[in-house]
Structure 1
Amino acid sequence: MIQLNGSDLTLQQMKGIIYDDEFVAINPDSMEKVRKSREAVERIVESGDTVYGINTGFGKFSDVRIKDKDVDELQLHLIRSHACGVGEAFPNVVSKAMIVLRMNALLKGFSGVRPCVVERLRDLANENIFPVIPSQGSLGASGDLAPLSHLALVLVGEGEVHYRGKIRSTKEVYHLLGYEPLTLKAKEGLALINGTQAMTAMGVINYLAAERLIDQIDWIAAMTLESLQGIIDAFHPAIHEARGYPEQMEVAERIRAITSDSKLITHQGEKRVQDAYSLRCIPQVHGASRQSLAYVKEKLEIEMNAATDNPLIFDDGKTIVSGGNFHGQPIALAMDFLKIAVAEIANISERRVERLVNPQLNDLPGFLSPDPGLQSGAMIMQYVAASLVSENKTLAHPASVDSIPSSANQEDHVSMGTIGARHAHQIIVNAQKVVSIEMICAMQALEYRGSSLASISVQNLFARGRKVVPTIIEDRAYSKDIEALATWLSRDQYDWTIQHKTISS
């Protein structure tokens, strides 16, 4: 069980909650802060003071005073009118992450919601009730208004949820579980939708997938290096220490460790003096992407524990300030950085695929074909990899450099961070397929070389990979092989960070 307090939620804990179904609990001290913040809102309502989001309209309507009798109704109108997202729904893991992140933000005690709102979010997370949330429609400033409104609809008993493998009406699921819909009170609707939890939730999923991929690519590149009888001298520690990037040094050390007992690895001058950049510069390129991931991780873990709604309530209600913490620029930039980092992993992977299949660049059978000419072998797999990396280049265009004014120009600069996060996800999916193609080709090339000559670590990876994709003895439709290996890479529980010196059975 993971206890949330609004302050120290980590990516590792999020992984446990969304993928391993660890229960979430509420820190009692944090809930006390929620109660005090709510008391402050109720005092404002009783006093009749005009405060944005409590008894005013929203956006351009912020100067419109709402009658006291309509304050609660205002919140329901807000949720319903803003729930206009379009497109495919976010995956359930993103929906669950949004619930947990919104709950964690409210537990900071700056938002003025009642404890029952936080408790209902907890129940949704623990019961695996996933709101159906359209993925398109957020500008990433004023918060992820449209996506979070679809989440908030579920709290009031409206909208749809994914529950026990089926999409159902929220009303039906509440009836099954004996839940009563919440009636939102002053400020609660705004507190639920003014935030960056859609882009941050998608960012969490992206980071966890990219982190896994960045570990896997070193291993697969090592297999390619062995298959092409690559030169290990380029990974000498002195070279990388001379430059000074820790991540570059780490990648070089991993490649050296993985290939340490290989009989296929060569030294400069034995077969050639230098390898092409896609082999020789593995530490520099992979290492730079690792640097980017470290930046993304830092920003996500700050945002996961941030108060991002507006206004915020401080000093037991003595200070209520309207600001702009809902602006998603920090996550927008991080997601754009992540897009480029992962796209580059796919770019260099595709270049290694070309070196594996092109008979003008190696001494292997053309396109790794079992019968060159009659059979095309891996020829079109390289085409697919090239197509995917080209698609990634368009998706990698920074979303954060765009802005379109909204709400009658009151909200005149927005982040587009949720678009960046969605595009980052697609780049990662594409990259997983490119990396899978590299591994398929590297395994086939390794068979031609003699897999028993590879290092024990690479033999171990080869044995695991062959359980997913069998050897190519005759042309077949390879799309299922690519998809199967990409799925395996995205789900496998193998610890890619350590060395295994015995071959798996």
Structure 2
Amino acid sequence: MVELDGHTLTPEAAARVMLAGEGVRASPDALSRVSESHRRLLVRISQGGPIYGVSTGFGKLSRVSIPPEDFGALQENVVRSHAAGVGAPLSDEAVRGMLLFRANSLLKGLSGVRPEVIELLLGMLNAGVYPVVPEQGSVGASGDLVPLAHLSLVLLGEGRARFRGEELPGEEALRRAGLSPLSGLAPKEGLALLNGTSYMLSLTTLAWALGRRAFQAALLSSSLTFQALRGSTAPLDERLHEARPHPGQIKVARKLRELLSGSSLTDSWKGDVQDPYSLRCLPQLLGPVLEALLWVEERLRIEMNSATDNPLIFPDGEVLPGGNFHGEILAFSAEALAVALAELGAGCERRMSLLLSAEERGLPPFLSPEAGPSSGLMLLQYTAASLTAENKVLSHPAAVDSIPTSAGKEDHNSMGATSAWKALRIAENVISQVALELTCARWAVALAGEEGLSPATKAPYERLSQLVPPPGPDRYLGEAIAKVREAVRSGEVSVGGL
């Protein structure tokens, strides 16, 4: 059970909630802060004067005054009018993240909402009521308005939601879960629900979590490939990396030395003084990926414990308008993550190509014991190459462009929602590329002599051998590849310690 207080949520804990469905609860102290924030907002309203999104319209309509009798209707209207998304619905994992991050942001106690709003968000998360949220529609500033509007409709008993695998009207999904919709929205609550970065944050966190698992599995796949190709360990020498002391490079070199220690396969091919880059430069290739993952993790940690709506209500009673909803930092994070993961996958494809054409290192063409009548694993590299090409296109940054909205009042948008969507797509592709390399490596090691494996890689290889049949005549391997992919995605097949 993860306790939320608006301050201490970690990307690791968030990933458990999103990917494994771990439960959550709100800290009582945080809920008390929320109640006090709502009270401060009501006091400020009673004093008169304009408050953006409470007594005014939204966006370009901020100069339009709203009478007090319409304050509640204003909040419900913004939810209904802004639910204008299109495209395929988000996965349950991504929606869990949106519910989690919106609740945790509101728990900081700076948004003016009532505790019951947060309690319903968390009740839906724990009960498995997942609003149907179209994946397209956010421009990554003023918050993720469109996707969060679709999510918020269900709190009103409207919209649609999935419950136990069935798509239902929002009110019915809540009823079946034993929950009740809000009877209405108090001042600022619609705006507070919509005006945040929860969509961008959810997709980027998912991409980071899956990317980290892909990285950990790639350490295994590359170390198995290294041994099957009888690679030279001289480029892993500690002295080389101390001469260029990037932290990620040093850590990866150290980890590879540990993984390969005791192997009788390495350093056993004497046909050249240097291996190809995808083997020789593994620390220089994987080290920057590790550093990118660590950099993005810290950005996510800050963002998921931030108040990202507008305006904010501070303990001294002052209501300040600002721009914490702007997703530029998440856009940059998602773009950096996308590039790093695309390169991780590209390295897998290159090492697969080496494995499939390593006759001079003692492996048969395409790892087929009957090359000619059988094509072996030839086409696995085709699939990896197609994913590499897709990742190259998806790595083109969305964050270097901006399209103004709301009649120019919102004149610079981050487009970070597109950045996050791309990063997640790349992460899923890279999971597949690592699985493909692992499948090739399983056959290659069997052909090279698995008895020569290093002690550190024997147990993971044995697990891999349970998922992938041994080398032999051509057969359908789609189910085996899918099993390996799921093992990578779940974190079952990986190397820890980094």
| TM > 0.5 fold call | yes
1:297 Cα deviation after fit: 0.2
Letter of the structure 1 residue corresponding to residue 114 of structure 2: R
Per-residue Cα deviation, 1:244-277 (whole angstroms, up to 9, x for no partner): 112111111111111111111007x834211010
Work out whether residues 129 and 174 of structure 2, in 8 Å CA contact, stay in contact via their aligned partners in 1.
no
CA distance in 2, matches of 1:440, 1:175: 46
Aligned to 1:287: 287
CA distance in 2, matches of 1:27, 1:458: 43
1:461 Cα deviation after fit: 2.0
1:6 Cα deviation after fit: 0.7
CA distance in 2, matches of 1:287, 1:378: 29
Aligned to 2:314: 314
Work out whether residues 488 and 494 of structure 2, in 8 Å CA contact, stay in contact via their aligned partners in 1.
no
1:8 Cα deviation after fit: 1.2
Aligned to 1:391: 390
Query: Does residue 1:239 correspond to 2:240, yes or no?
Result: yes
CA distance in 2, matches of 1:23, 1:316: 34
Query: Does residue 1:371 correspond to 2:370, yes or no?
Result: yes
**Which deviates more, 29-38 or 175-184?**
175-184
SS in 2 for 1:397: coil
Q: Which runs of 5+ in 1 are unaligned?
A: 500-505
Aligned to 2:300: 300
CA distance in 2, matches of 1:394, 1:355: 24
CA distance in 1, matches of 2:491, 2:16: 15
SS in 1 for 2:319: strand
Aligned to 1:48: 48
Aligned to 2:217: 216
Name the TM-score, length of structure 2 as normaliser.
Answer: 0.96
Superposition pairs for residues 34-433 of structure 1, below 5 Å?
A: 34-182=34-182, 183-266=184-267, 270-317=270-317, 319-359=318-358, 362-433=361-432
Work out whether residues 224 and 352 of structure 1, in 8 Å CA contact, stay in contact via their aligned partners in 2.
yes
1:46 Cα deviation after fit: 3.0
Per-residue Cα deviation, 1:83-104 (whole angstroms, up to 9, x for no partner): 1111111111111111111111
Query: Does residue 1:460 correspond to 2:462, yes or no?
Result: no
Work out whether residues 356 and 362 of structure 1, in 8 Å CA contact, stay in contact via their aligned partners in 2.
no
**Which deviates more, 38-47 or 282-291?**
38-47
Q: Which runs of 5+ in 2 are unaligned?
A: none
CA distance in 1, matches of 2:51, 2:427: 43
Per-residue Cα deviation, 1:424-459 (whole angstroms, up to 9, x for no partner): 111111111111111111111111111111112222
Q: CA-atom RMSD, angstroms?
A: 1.7
Work out whether residues 196 and 327 of structure 1, in 8 Å CA contact, stay in contact via their aligned partners in 2.
yes
SS in 1 for 2:406: coil
**Which deviates more, 71-80 or 124-133?**
124-133
CA distance in 1, matches of 2:335, 2:491: 27
Letter of the structure 1 residue corresponding to residue 381 of structure 2: Q
Work out whether residues 219 and 255 of structure 1, in 8 Å CA contact, stay in contact via their aligned partners in 2.
no
**Which deviates more, 442-451 or 228-237?**
442-451
CA distance in 1, matches of 2:242, 2:210: 29
1:316 Cα deviation after fit: 4.0
Letter of the structure 2 residue corresponding to residue 434 of structure 1: Q
CA distance in 2, matches of 1:316, 1:176: 42
CA distance in 2, matches of 1:234, 1:82: 56
Name the TM-score, length of structure 1 as normaliser.
Answer: 0.95
Q: How many residues align?
A: 497
The change in CA–CA distance for 1:226 and 1:36 in structure 2 (over 3 A counts) is same
1:472 Cα deviation after fit: 3.1
The change in CA–CA distance for 1:53 and 1:361 in structure 2 (over 3 A counts) is farther
Work out whether residues 342 and 391 of structure 2, in 8 Å CA contact, stay in contact via their aligned partners in 1.
yes
Identity of aligned residues (%): 40
Aligned to 1:5: 5
Aligned to 2:435: 436
SS in 1 for 2:402: coil
CA distance in 2, matches of 1:457, 1:407: 58
Per-residue Cα deviation, 1:30-49 (whole angstroms, up to 9, x for no partner): 22221122112222333332
Letter of the structure 2 residue corresponding to residue 441 of structure 1: C
Work out whether residues 355 and 361 of structure 1, in 8 Å CA contact, stay in contact via their aligned partners in 2.
no
Per-residue Cα deviation, 1:64-112 (whole angstroms, up to 9, x for no partner): 0012211110111100010111111111111111111111111111111
